[in-house]
Copies of this chain bind each other. A is one copy, B any other.
Amino acid sequence: KEDDMVYRKTIYDHEDWNRHRCNRRHMRHMLAIATSRVVAGLLPPVVRLTMVASVIVLYNIFLTGYFPCVGILHVSSLPFQLAAPALALLLVFRTNASYGRYDEARKSWATIASRSRDMARQAVTFFRHPADASLLHHLLQHLIALPYCVKDHLTREDDLRKELTDIVKVEDDDLTAIMSSTHRPNYVLQAMSYIVHSSRISDMQKAVLDSNIVSLQDQVVGCERLFTTPIPLCYTRLTSRILVVWHLLLPLALWDQCTWITIPATFLSAAALFCIEEVGVLIEEPFSILPLSTISNTIRSNVVTILQQHQEWSILRNGL
């Protein structure tokens, strides 16, 4: 079902791209239309508007058929023609602003992944003093826990405790501390900062690791900014209202040229334009669309790989 596809929160691979570019995609998209959650979501308003159109059409056909003195409900299409470009631009620009937010969110998470790898790579190199071994362990655990905490903060999927226990395997003390903090990502970042500054590494190395924490902090705040601040509500309401008024009056303009075809024409026009708006609203809050779980898991496996590889090399060198 497409439901799942929309919410599968896909990480694309080579197969997916081939399928994406395949010239049968149009047919596939048409066949999946009935199972699309986006389409299902916008049916109610579209159906309501189509019903208004039907009432107008029925009135024009029947009532005026029997009582010729009653006026037909119709207007000229000229005002619609003059306003059409403005409506189109408004809709598509709003969708584009939403896409800008989506892109920004995706870049923030890519930066989280990038900085986590840097931090892991640098930490395993810097923490050489034996007494720092447990600090390193703690640091990497918090580093792995961070994306899960950010994800939980942004989506409230309520499986953070399970993830921290099963996937990150944080210790019980840390788990309690993280779960009971008021702002978990911030707590984890401060804990990482504290671990770094408690260690025996040089000041310059501390500065390098700290700059990663600064960058991670930026991403957390950036994601929070996207989450807490939608596109100005007056813009969103404006688009929505113009769209509704447009389709309430459209049947009057179509009547002269389309008679009963006004009904399917209104339906299709509403479906198309409300769908553009719906997509704009859907990707405006990108975190429920982005595959945050997969990205978090990738970060975890990256950090683990870096640690294992480093230990392997250390053994090799010490073995020699």
Residues of A within 8 A of B (CB): 5-6, 10-14, 16-17, 20-21, 23-27, 29-30, 32-33, 36, 38, 41-45, 48, 75-93, 95-97, 99, 102, 106-107, 110-111, 113-114, 117-118, 121-122, 125, 156, 182-183, 186-187, 189-190, 193-194, 197-198, 202-204, 207-208, 210, 213-214, 217-218, 221-222, 224-225, 227-238, 240-245, 249-250, 253-254, 257-258, 261, 265, 268-269, 272-276, 279, 281-285, 288-291, 301-302, 305-306, 309-310, 313, 317
Contacts and interface: CB of A to CB of B under 8 A. Distances in A.
Given A237-B36, A238-B279, A289-B232, A183 B12 contact: no
A10 B233 contact: yes
B235 A283 contact: yes
Given A26-B45, A86-B272, A233-B10, A217 B118 contact: yes
Q: This chain: how many copies in the complex?
A: 5
A235 B268 contact: no
Contacts of A274: 26
Given A202-B203, A203-B202, A225 B89 contact: no
B30 A244 contact: yes
B93 A92 contact: yes
A289 B24 CA distance: 21
B82 A234 contact: no
Given A79-B258, A92-B90, A238 B203 contact: no
Contact of A310 (B33, B122, B194, B276): B194
Interface centre among A194, A207, A291 (most CB of B within 10 A): A194
30 contacts: A12-B228, A17-B288, A23-B41, A24-B45, A25-B281, A26-B45, A26-B240, A26-B243, A26-B244, A29-B237, A32-B237, A78-B257, A81-B82, A81-B84, A86-B91, A86-B92, A89-B89, A93-B95, A97-B99, A107-B225, A111-B218, A114-B217, A121-B189, A186-B305, A203-B204, A207-B208, A234-B282, A238-B279, A245-B268, A249-B268
A85 B88 contact: yes
B6 A23 contact: no
A244 B29 contact: yes
Contacts of A235: 95, 99, 279, 283
Contacts of A268: 79, 245, 249
Nearest to A202: B203
Given A90-B92, A242-B272, A283-B234, A78 B253 contact: yes
B283 A106 contact: no
B21 A106 contact: no
Nearest to A48: B27
Nearest to A117: B217
Nearest to A286: B232
